[in-house]
A = this chain, B = another copy of it.
Amino acid sequence: MLAMAAAELGFACHVYTPEPDSPAAAVAAKAVVEAWSDSAALAHFARGCDAITFEFENVPIATAEFLAQRRPLYPGPLSLGITQDRVSEKSFVAGLGIPIAPFAPVDSAEDLGPALGRTGRPAVLKTRRFGYDGKGQAKIDDETDPAAAWEAIGAAPAVLEAFVAFSREISVIIARARDGSLAAFDVTENRHESGILATSRVPASVDDSTAAEAVAIAGRIASALDHVGVLAVEFFVVGDGPSSRLIVNEIAPRVHNSGHWTQDAATASQFEQHIRAVAGWPLLSPRRHSEVEMMNLIGAAADGWPALAAEPDAHIHLYGKAEVRPGRKMGHVNRLRPPGTGSAWGGRDRL
Interface set of A (CB-CB < 8 Å, partner B):
3-4, 7-13, 26-29, 264, 267-268, 276, 281-285, 287, 289-290, 305, 309-310, 312-320, 331, 336, 338
Our pick among B7, B27, B276, B313 for the contact of A284 (Cβ within 8 Å) is B313
The smallest C-beta distance from A37 to any residue of chain B, in angstroms, reads 28
Q: Which residue of B lies closest to A280 (CB)?
A: B309
Given A8-B316, A267-B336, A287-B290, output 5 extra A-B contacts at Cβ < 8 Å: A8-B318, A9-B318, A10-B331, A27-B29, A284-B314
> Which 4 A-B pairs give the minimum distances between C-beta atoms?
A10-B318, A289-B289, A285-B312, A26-B29
Q: Which residue of B lies closest to A338 (CB)?
A: B287
On whether A282 and B310 interact (CB within 8 A), knowing A26-B28, A338-B287, the answer reads yes
Q: Which residue of B lies closest to A5 (CB)?
A: B4
Q: State the oligomeric state as a number of copies.
A: 2
User: Considering residues A10, A264, A268, which has the most beta carbons from chain B within 10 angstroms of its beta carbon?
Assistant: A10
Q: Find chain B residues with CB under 8 A from A268 CB.
A: 315
Q: Find chain B residues with CB under 8 A from A316 CB.
A: 8-10
Question: CA A51 – CA B26 in complex, angstroms?
Answer: 18
Q: Find chain B residues with CB under 8 A from A285 CB.
A: 312-313
Question: CA A82 – CA B189 in complex, angstroms?
Answer: 51
Do A10 and B312 touch (CB < 8 A)?
no
On whether A26 and B4 interact (CB within 8 A), knowing A282-B312, A309-B282, the answer reads no
Residue pairs across A and B with Cβ atoms less than 8 A apart, 18 shown, are: A4-B8, A7-B26, A7-B320, A8-B317, A10-B305, A10-B317, A10-B331, A11-B320, A12-B26, A12-B320, A13-B26, A267-B290, A268-B315, A276-B309, A281-B309, A284-B312, A284-B314, A284-B315
